[in-house]
Amino acid sequence: MNLDLQTYFTNELQGITSGEELCASLQTTSPTSIRVNPNKITQTLSLEQVAWCEQGYYLPQRPKFTLDPAFHAGAYYVQEASSMFLEQIVKPLAVRPLKVLDLCAAPGGKSTQLISLMQRGSVLVANEVIQSRAQILSENLIKWGKSNCVVTNNDPKDFGFLEGFFDIVAVDAPCSGEGMFRKDPAAIGEWSETHVDLCSKRQTRILYDIWNCVAPGGTLIYSTCTFNQKENEDVIANFLQQTGAECKHIPLQKEWNVVEHEKNGAVCYRFFPHKVQGEGFCVSVIQKLAGKEFEPPRKQAQSKAISIIPQKNRLHYSNLVNDESVVYERHAGIIWSFSKEYRKFLLDIFAHCRVVHAGIPLVETIGHKLNPLPGLAFASSFNQTILPKYEIDLPIALRYFKKEALTLENLPSKGWIHLVYKGISIGFVKNIGNRANNPYPAAWAIKMNLQEELMWSVVNMPM
Ligand code: SAM
């Protein structure tokens, strides 16, 4: 494709911003930003903060994230700064427990942010239609360590059984990706007008497929990482016209340099790399004014896939986590914890959706033996008194995440040992005497060589 970017953006963004300045900014380096997990890093970092996100920080340069154990342990998420604006939309709504669906969720930037913003008693369904991407989403959410979420692998229209259920539905839609032209110049070669048209049709279809699931008075958050109006204002304006919904305004601070643009009722918050320290991003907040309230199904769904652990056996598991609000479930030899108050909802989800994981996978049962799973170590509610603890250094922590067998000196006992790096719970090894077996999942293991000179950690930076 021979795309004259400057002409294209000048025409496309008339009245919104300068195409020339935008094009010039595409030649500059992308900032690197992270959002910390408040359950794992409680101190404020001595780094420049993202103006619209309390937990968001810029790093002075892009390190090798694979070579930081804290990255693998879900202590932070590498997220593009503009998209962290989600906090400004969700925080005012999160003053009460919320039911949230993140429809296009992989790899998990918005899901991990949503679940950190949501208060106790809330539930998140994080869905991804592409199976391989749903696995990555599941890994990232297990590492984030909260028990009130379910990861599903479904098409948007499969959620029709949850009419009027969700207080928030986030649609971070697949798009033509013009906002990624700077980070990934190859994206320019893949761009075409036909693709933009195809994306806008797909975005519209996704919105209609999921609209029923938004509760009356609830909110649909639509976002893309593209600049053109066909996939942003036009998709939203047509949708508002057909549904009678309305866009909400989000208060902005002038110094943020976020552009609010309104067209035919569609209010879009636009992020341009020549105006903000972040990539291209566009978000719109749509409120459903009226609609059908959720009616719980008359007949409770049954699922053979999960069975609640009977009261008398619960003692074996109940000390694994410090959380009174969970139930213990069994599924395919794995015991996991999930929010008690959403158990019926979970049965419905299992009956209608492909569930990748739910809550926190805690232990695997083999006969009478219990083997702790990585999810237990990553859980923010993990009861760290149940196993002997062993502090490891940075190279050993990375060798653990590379799934190497470890030889650890002066281990406190034989059997299962809990590994910790700089106060961050990393995982478990089984000490069999001459070595420690490493059960870290092969699918999650570091593939690259561990170059000592590039090893680093966020937790070693000044706090
Ligand atoms: N929200 C994610 C995050 O913050 O990490 C990024 C989501 S990405 C922009 C869009 C996602 O939509 C992709 O994971 C893609 O696989 C998914 N997707 C693609 N086609 C879809 C469709 N027809 N319906 C729903 N999701 C789709």
Q: Quote the pLDDT of residue 15.
A: 95
CA-nearest of 156, 158, 30, 45 to 105 is 156
Q: Quote the pLDDT of residue 180.
A: 87
CA–centroid distance, residue 200 to ligand 1 (Å): 14
pLDDT tens per residue across span 195-235: 999 999 999 999 999 999 999 999 999 999 999 999 999 99
328 bridge partner residues:
337
CA–centroid distance, residue 114 to ligand 1 (Å): 16
CA–centroid distance, residue 282 to ligand 1 (Å): 15
Our answer on whether the CB atom of 130 is closer than 6 Å to any ligand 1 atom is yes
Q: Quote the pLDDT of residue 30.
A: 94
Handedness of CA 313, 319, 324, 326 (dihedral sign): negative
Residue 103 is encoded by which pair of tokens? 């429809």
Q: Helix, strand or coil for residue 373?
A: coil
Q: Quote the pLDDT of residue 21.
A: 96
Burial 352-380 (b: 16+ CB within 10 A, else e): bbebbbbbbbbbeeeeeebebbbbbbbbb
| Residue in the structure block whose two tokens are 């996704």 | 206
Q: Quote the pLDDT of residue 1.
A: 46
CA atoms of 335 and 376, how far apart (whole Å): 10
- Is 225 part of the annotated catalytic residue set? yes
Residue 173 is encoded by which pair of tokens? 């839609």
Our answer on whether the CB atom of 156 is closer than 6 Å to any ligand 1 atom is yes
CA-nearest of 180, 214, 229 to 285 is 214
77 bridge partner residues:
35
Handedness of CA 77, 80, 82, 83 (dihedral sign): negative
Extract the residue ranges of the chain whose pLDDT is less than 70. Answer: 1-3, 303-316
Cβ 128 vs Cβ 141: under 8 Å: no
In the set 23, 225, 268, 282, the catalytic residue is 225
Phi, psi of 398 (to 5 degrees): -70, -35
Q: Quote the pLDDT of residue 369.
A: 81
For residue 458, give the DSSP letter.
G
- Strand extents, DSSP E, 37-75: 56-59
Measure CA of the first residue to CA of the last residue in the chain; give whole Å.
47
Q: Whose C-alpha lies nearest to ligand 1, atom 10? A: 174
35 bridge partner residues:
56, 77
CA atoms of 409 and 271, how far apart (whole Å): 51
Our answer on whether the CB atom of 427 is closer than 6 Å to any ligand 1 atom is no
If one counts every other C-beta atom within 10 angstroms of the C-beta of residue 160, the result is 12
CA atoms of 447 and 129, how far apart (whole Å): 26
pTM, entire model: 0.96
In the chain, DSSP finds a helix count (H) and a strand count (E) of 13, 22
CA–centroid distance, residue 350 to ligand 1 (Å): 22
pLDDT tens per residue across span 238-261: 999 999 999 999 999 999 999 999
